[in-house]
Amino acid sequence: MSEKITIKDLAQKPDLLMPGHRLCAGCAAGTIVRLVLKATRGPTIITNATGCLEVATTIFPYSSWKVPWIHNAFENAAATASGIEAAFNAMKRTGKGPLAKYEHVDVIAFAGDGGTYDIGFQALSGAFERGHDFLYILYDNEAYMNTGIQRSGGTPRCAWTTTSPAGSVIPGKREWKKPIARIAAEHEIPYVATASPAYPIDLVRKVRKGLEVEGPAFIHVLSPCTRGWRYPPEKTIKIAKLAVETCFFPLWEAEFKDGEIVYTLSAPSERIARKPELKKPVEEYLKLQGRFSHLFRPKKREDLINEIQQWVDREWKLILKRCGKL
Amino acid sequence: MAVKQIVMGLNGDEAVAYAIKQVDPDVVAAYPITPQTIIVERFSEYVANGEVHTEFVAVESEHSALSACVGAAAAGARAFTATAANGLALMWEILYIASSCRLPIVMAIVNRALSGPINIHPDHSDAMGARDSGWIQIFCENSQEAYDSIIQAWRIAEHPDVQLPVMVCLDGFVLSHTLENVMTLPDDVVKKFVGERKFVTVKNHFGKEVPFILDPENPITIGPLDLYDFYFEHKMQQIDAMGKAPKVIEEIGKEYGELSGRTYGLVHPYKLEDAEIAIVGLGSTMGTAKIVVDKLREKGVKAGLLRIRSFRPFPVQQIIENLKDKKVIGVLDRAVSFGAYGGPLFSEIRNIFYDQDIRPLISNYIYGLGGRDMPPQRLMIIFEDLQKIAETGRIEKTVKYIGVRG
Amino acid sequence: MSSEEKLPGWREIPIAGVTYKPSTEYKTGDWKVYKPVINYEKCTKCMFCYTYCPDGAIKIREDGFPEPDYDFCKGCGICAEECPVKAIEMVKD
């Protein structure tokens, strides 16, 4: 893919996810998958963990996928992808078998935060360690949304979920969001990145890079959920943008080169690094979402909002340091 | 005329590994667990020495092992794995997925007791736990049969009428770790017998009849969400395939017999024709029991045995034919179903005889759990009990436990 | 029960749960309460609406202008929200 690609260029590429799927109106996952598939470069096979995306796009007898696609179980998107990659390698080696005719096959695993942070973590880590050539896309809606908004390892602190409700004693989830992308990077795999559907060109560029790299690649995409985060559906892209603008979800890449993990800030976050006055307070991000409403009503919880701001600042500082911006 | 074969000194695990080497599947994804470890280790050596073209995936758990096999088989590869006991238990959900996705995966199960307490020795609790999963289950008497069955398994699984995964079971340690003379076929004969994997076709969501493979040229979607309007129909398809499997198992067993001189079927009777008393069971204990039957025959007792080779699909007609005119049969179970009336094999055999006008007295003997040894002396106790039942015409206690203290 | 009976039997559907209908046969357009209406005087053909639509329910016409596909549009309003020149209005369906 050429370095400079525009929205208009993207619009020319075929849409490999057909409409008619049953994702909620305004679901970021739909946008994310459409964009990811526009970045494909040749024969592609998809594995998909159980979750919103899998269930909504393949209600029997319908399917929205224009590429070969398999759903196995909840926790094994990475293991299933490993098997497909191994199959292709074997067929290339023997020159026999249905996939031997391809020069290369791209294997992409889609999974939500449930199938990645928690139940799918083992398979993910194993696949990274074995070095399979595949791209893993985490569409993170920060809870087990498909089963009704239960907390996951990716749920941010203080968020309301049905298993970490904001009650009179405990104000939402107590634990912090697991730094899954940094953990992936520490596996010393060739390519890790974070992305947001609000920056489609950046996302597409990263997907293509992940496909081109030899070995495991991991892209953590923030996927705002109108149902679970409690905001009106038209705000999905706005919220995905604010997450980056408040540095709640900074955009960066990490490449393992010559024995070193090299971090690079991506343009939307790099702008903020250069001009810190552009960094918006996290409160602006939180107040738009019903899952954080208990931080504002009946009484504004400055203590909790400050805690979250401190966490955001700490993470941001860590990323800046790693990107050599500090 | 059987082909010329080479005798090799192999234990059960080595025999399985050697058979897989000759089949040379595309993908082997496996995780070690005693007593299957030798299969994985031996196969890793073949890979390291370039003797196979297989892509060996050293997965991080048994769950991932079968998951990787599902991915590989769906992508059109031949995929193999092996496990035992808790490894099989760990991949339990994927067993059902593999069979519902109609993927011809072959798996060796080295039967071992399920924890707990943790026990590495043989019994059939692991395979019995998987009996509802939609896999074909073949139980082997000896390492020779393990070798032969692994080769046949691919043809059974990939048969267009079947398209189901197959597990080949061999008893842990008793078979897996015990040296035996195994007649092995030449490489080219095995290659010719298994042939290339052929694919059935399916109608995809673009209205095209395409090969059942994850192929970018003809995309298909595997593993959708079923609501209550279609799940039952999908299960019927699996039931139908299982119904067609017995014929296929027999056909392949016969074809293999012409090649090797060893014919295999769904059941293997031994001195059963004129027998009055008989035992029925699975696995290596039936091999030991042959000696006991011979001893009894010398004494003039009309004893016999029926070894069931295919537990799933359950060979209803063959069992009825072989056993209906016996006075008493003793069903040996090397597994327990807590809270059930008798062991799993006993329940199934009793079940099929219910509709028969002529049926034997059926007695259950649960034995060998956790590797409790089953030497000829203990088997003799069972036969003596069967003789007593034959004389009195009554079973005092239907379910008995052999070899346990207390 | 009668609606189930009109569905195909187990011998008629593909094995292994392979899907046999494209999702385009399922019109999600009846989900919407509001529908996007594009003011083509203002539209600059920037294609952001097309890019952000989670359903791919905006088509690109021959003349290069975007056109909502009301058969599938769920009325989420992202296109209207993100249009840089506010050329899209959400109108009661």
Q: Which of B75, B222, B225 has its CB closest to that of A88? A: B75
The interface predicted TM-score (ipTM) is 0.96
Sole residue written with tokens 């596909």: C69
The mean pLDDT value for B296-310 works out to 98
A-contacting residues in B 329-388 (Cβ below 8 Å): none
Question: Is residue B23 less than 8 Å (CB to CB) from chain A?
Answer: no
For chain B, domains (ranges, CATH) are 6-194+239-260 (3.40.50.970), 267-402 (3.40.50.920)
The mean pLDDT value for B269-292 works out to 98
Question: Is residue B53 less than 8 Å (CB to CB) from chain A?
Answer: yes
pLDDT digits (tens, 9 = 90+) for B82-127: 999 999 999 999 999 999 999 999 999 999 999 999 999 999 999 9
How many C-beta neighbours within 10 Å does residue B242 have? 18
CATH of the structural domain A7-322, one choice from 3.40.50.970, 3.40.50.1220, 3.30.565.10, 3.40.50.720: 3.40.50.970
Q: How confident is the model at residue C1 (pLDDT cuts 50, 70, 90)?
A: low
Residue B299 has pLDDT above 80, yes or no: yes
Integer-rounded Cα radius of gyration of chain C: 18
What is the DSSP code (8-state) at residue B332? E
Q: Are B156 and B145 in contact (CB under 8 A)?
A: no
Question: Is residue A63 less than 8 Å (CB to CB) from chain B?
Answer: yes
Query: CA B142, CA B165: separation in Å to the nearest integer?
Result: 22
Q: Are B91 and B38 in contact (CB under 8 A)?
A: no
CB-CB neighbors (< 8 A) of B216 in chain A: 42-45, 67-68, 102, 105
Q: Which of B206, B233, B240 has its CB closest to that of C13? A: B233
Q: Which of C22, C56, C76 has its CB closest to that of A62? A: C22
**Minimal C-alpha gap between A189 and chain C (Å):** 30
Query: CA B114, CA B125: separation in Å to the nearest integer?
Result: 6
CB-CB neighbors (< 8 A) of A23 in chain C: 54-55
Task: Indicate the SS3 state at residue B280.
Answer: strand
Distances (CA, A) of A245 to A281, A316, B102: 9, 11, 48
Pick out chain A residues at pLDDT < 50.
1
Chain B neighbours, 3+ Cβ pairs < 8 A: A, C
For chain C, domains (ranges, CATH) are 29-92 (3.30.70.20)
- Could you list the beta-strand ranges (E) of A90-152: 106-112, 135-140
| Contact criterion met (CB < 8 Å) for A20 and C72 | yes
Question: Is residue A84 less than 8 Å (CB to CB) from chain B?
Answer: yes
Give A252's strand partners: A265
CB-CB neighbors (< 8 A) of C72 in chain A: 19-20
CB-CB neighbors (< 8 A) of A35 in chain C: 51
Question: Is residue B52 less than 8 Å (CB to CB) from chain A?
Answer: no
Q: Which of A75, A81, A94 has its CB closest to that of B71? A: A81
Residue C2 has pLDDT above 70, yes or no: no
| Contact criterion met (CB < 8 Å) for C18 and B234 | no
Question: Is residue A63 less than 8 Å (CB to CB) from chain C?
Answer: yes
**Minimal C-alpha gap between A61 and chain C (Å):** 5
Q: Are A27 and A52 in contact (CB under 8 A)?
A: yes
How many C-beta neighbours within 10 Å does residue A268 have? 18
Distances (CA, A) of A212 to A10, A217, A264, B391: 18, 9, 18, 78
Residue of chain C whose Cα is closest to the Cα of B223: C17
Residue of chain B whose Cα is closest to the Cα of C22: B205
- C77: buried, middle or exposed (CB in 10 Å: 19+, 13-18, 0-12)? buried
Give A71's strand partners: A48
Sole residue written with tokens 């759990």: B369
CB-CB neighbors (< 8 A) of B101 in chain C: 16-17
The mean pLDDT value for B340-357 works out to 97
Sole residue written with tokens 């996951």: A152
Percent residues over pLDDT 70 in chain B: 100
**Nearby residues of B401 by Cβ (< 8 Å), 6 or more positions away:** B365, B366, B367
**Minimal C-alpha gap between C73 and chain A (Å):** 9
Q: What is the pLDDT of residue A74?
A: 97
CB-CB neighbors (< 8 A) of B223 in chain C: 17
The mean pLDDT value for B2-8 works out to 94
pLDDT digits (tens, 9 = 90+) for A209-231: 999 999 999 999 999 999 999 99
Q: What is the pLDDT of residue C6?
A: 87
Q: How confident is the model at residue B66 (pLDDT cuts 50, 70, 90)?
A: very high
Q: Which of A20, A31, A233 has its CB closest to that of C27? A: A20
Q: Phi/psi class of residue A158: alpha, beta or left (left: φ > 0; alpha: ψ in -120 to 50)?
A: left
* Residues of chain B that touch chain C, judged by Cβ-Cβ distance less than 8 Å: 100-103, 163, 200, 202-207, 212, 220-224, 226, 229-230, 232-234, 236-237, 240-241
The mean pLDDT value for C10-30 works out to 97
- Residue B80's closest CA among B88, B90, B68, B69? B69
Q: Which of B26, B61, B67 has its CB closest to that of A87? A: B26
Residue of chain B whose Cα is closest to the Cα of A127: B59
**Minimal C-alpha gap between B91 and chain A (Å):** 11
CB-CB neighbors (< 8 A) of B58 in chain A: 130
Q: Which of A8, A10, A26 has its CB closest to that of C76? A: A26
Between chain A and chain B, how many beta carbons pairs sit less than 8 Å apart? 176
Q: What is the pLDDT of residue A4?
A: 81
Q: Which of A69, A79, A98 has its CB closest to that of B59? A: A79
Residue of chain A whose Cα is closest to the Cα of B100: A72
**Minimal C-alpha gap between B221 and chain C (Å):** 6
**Minimal C-alpha gap between A10 and chain C (Å):** 8
CB-CB neighbors (< 8 A) of C78 in chain A: 26, 31, 233-234, 236-237
* DSSP assignment of B161-217: TT---EEEEEETTTTTTS-EEEEE--HHHHHHHH-SPP--EEE-TTS-EEESS-BTT
* Interface with chain B: mutation pick from A91, A101, A146, A187, highest number of B CBs within 10 Å: A91
CB-CB neighbors (< 8 A) of C18 in chain B: 202-204, 212, 220-222
The mean pLDDT value for C41-51 works out to 97
Q: What is the pLDDT of residue B168?
A: 98
Task: Indicate the SS3 state at residue A142.
Answer: coil
Residue B142 has pLDDT above 80, yes or no: yes
Exposure of B271 in the CB half-sphere (CA atoms within 13 A): 22
**Minimal C-alpha gap between B53 and chain A (Å):** 7
| Contact criterion met (CB < 8 Å) for A28 and C60 | no
| Contact criterion met (CB < 8 Å) for B60 and A102 | no
**Nearby residues of B185 by Cβ (< 8 Å), 6 or more positions away:** B3, B5, B22, B151, B193, B259, B260
Question: Is residue A70 less than 8 Å (CB to CB) from chain C?
Answer: no
- Residue C74's closest CA among C55, C58, C47? C55
Query: CA B298, CA B300: separation in Å to the nearest integer?
Result: 5
